[in-house]
Amino acid sequence: MGAVLAACIGGSSSKRTRDSSGGAGGPRADAMITRTFSSVEAVAVVVYTTSLDSGLFTTPAVTDLAERFRSHHQEHAALFVGTTRDLGGAPFTDPNPIVMQQVQPVLDALDDEATAINLALDVETILADTYQATMGTFADKSFNVAAMSVGGAEARHAAALAQALDVPSVPQPFETTDRAVAAGNGV
């Protein structure tokens, strides 16, 4: 499942190389990034809602985490919808269509708690990578802090889900951006 999603998104660390911080695009470029953020947060909300509503999470502790994490993603999405508006952009409230093209078949095939947790872990990893990949690309550098205040929270989610699957929670000393959604992709 991981490879399926990993193949889709099109963002990678090679797409974020710049030789100085601060994107040149100004508020419009920043709004494109925040639209991307809200779009991937909306994907996470769909994934958790579908699994919760279908009763796939059967372990009470996992259900509690899923409800908590969904709530976080709703908060994150609201933050970036509002930020996009503040930047003069059109808020993007739908799930990212390119990510959903890859997620939906997996979502439709979920049949137990393990597969549901695995998908949630995939999505959390993609989100964490997406936030991290934007470092140095914002015109407004204060967004570096805002983005990673969310990216760090997503990384915590991923660690907890990995624990539930009994796979390594902190697999490497440095987080990568291998699975990031490139800014503007799908929005």
Partner 1 sequence: MTGSNTSGDAGINAFAQSVELALAQAYAELASSGKVTTPDAVDATKAFAAHHQDHAAALGALAASRATSTPNGRLAAMFAVRVRDASDERAALHVALALENEAASTYLFALGSLEATAALQLAASILPVESQHAVVLASLVDQAPRQTFPAFETQDQAVKPDEFPAPS
Chain residues binding partner 1 by CB under 8 A are 16-21, 64-65, 68-69, 71-72, 75-76, 128, 131-132, 135-136, 141-142, 144-145, 148-160, 163, 169-170, 172-176
25, 41, 46, 62, 164 from 51: Cα distances, Å: 38, 16, 9, 11, 15
- Give the nearest distance from C-beta 149 to partner 1 in angstroms: 4
- Give the nearest distance from C-beta 1 to partner 1 in angstroms: 21
1, 2, 106, 116, 130 from 177: Cα distances, Å: 18, 14, 22, 23, 7
C-alpha triplet 151, 10, 5: angle, nearest 5°:
75
- Give the nearest distance from C-beta 99 to partner 1 in angstroms: 20
Nearer to partner 1, 120 or 128 (CB): 128
- Give the nearest distance from C-beta 175 to partner 1 in angstroms: 4
Nearer to partner 1, 109 or 167 (CB): 167
Q: How far apart are the first and last CA of the chain?
A: 24
